[in-house]
A and B are shown apart, each in its own frame.
Chain A
Amino acid sequence: MTHMAHSTPEELIDVVDGTRRVSSLPHLADCAACRAQLDELRATIGEVAAIDVPEPPPLYWRQLSARVHDAVERERFGAGRRIWFLGGASWDTVWPWAAAAVLVLAVLVTTRRGAERQPQRTPTSTVNLAQQDSAPSVGSVTESARVDAERAPDALNAGDSADESLIAFMQDLAESMDAEAAGVSLRPDGSVTDAAVAELSPEERAEMQRLLQDAMRGSGV
């Protein structure tokens, strides 16, 4: 019988696994080489299976969970950016509101600044919002807010610190939203954002502004 072909790796592994009976491979009974091969495979797999993962010191698990906790917190709050006021809600839930907050604040600041200093300036984000016939990309919404925010310091040479901090906050928020969109390929529905803005009453907008300002004061911005 030794003239027969040796057992294949697949056959031998099946025997080691117990999914094939030795009796189904008559060659094994006559071929010492294949039997030795089979014994070797069994011994080696037994040795590998006997290797356990070394148990780390008792405090290790607490350290690991604390470390993961910190990493998740950084993830949740955009590497320490000041968006902690959004609560524990996921970006999926919060995004339309965050976008609305940026836009509303952009409108408020731009309009106020425009009324006080440059009556001829068009509030860019308001125009942008009105032109959103189709769902905009994340970039277009946040970019318009950021462009507005980036322009703002030029008009603030007089040192209106409240506006400056508001604008800095808006920039952070806009950047956080951009980073998040890039990181998880978020594709929010633009109409949701529009609706979120449209549904805000003047009182709600004032409330949002107040909350954001409270948040900034609380975080030492």
Chain B
Amino acid sequence: MADLEIRDLKVEADGTELLHGVDLELDKGKTLALMGPNGSGKSTLAYAIAGHPAYDITGGSVHWKGTELNELTPDERAKLGVFLAMQYPVEVPGVSLTNFLRTAVNSVNEEDIPVREFMTRLREEMSELGVDQSFLQRSINEGFSGGEKKRFEILQAALLRPELAVLDETDSGLDVDALKTVAEGVNRLSGPDLGVLIITHYTRILRYIQPDEVHVMFEGRIVASGGPELADELEEHGYENLRTTA
């Protein structure tokens, strides 16, 4: 069994079936790209993996390291190493970024990291990702620009050290420099202990993060799979051809 094994997955939201039977496998140490036009169901898959309350798994299964995720709460999934960098990170007023991050790190690692040690680590990661120290005083995502939110998602991944990172359009809304910084951040995390599922609409981030496989989703189904060359094809011809073959 693969580390992440998705079998015939069906997902509903608000009474509508959005995924109609998706199969996907990902092992730690590998990077997989999931592409597809807007509205094809990419975020739905990401949310189903993370346990978003609006998305119900109505058929099939998602196994991570042999455990059926559907039975776990979102925080239990995080403790198993699952991390979702969200397409639209949420603003949580009044909850300080420092307090939030420390609570998350302590809870995922089931230990109480001394404040000093934590702050040192946090400051290091922040400067690596070009996040200004003044953010320590701010509330979660409050008043962050689109790009700042995306960097903050990667900062969280860096601190939580997941084994499965699902990056949902982390590249969108970033200028080239920011894209490079974020991609470097992801590459720093990569290694034999991390599986990456990179969800993107465009191919440009794949120039910085090399996928082992590319899968294409359309209308709630995987319609094409291949190696990195599939991304280049999509770059040239767009998603139009898929629609006809799907």
Report if A and B associate in a common complex: no
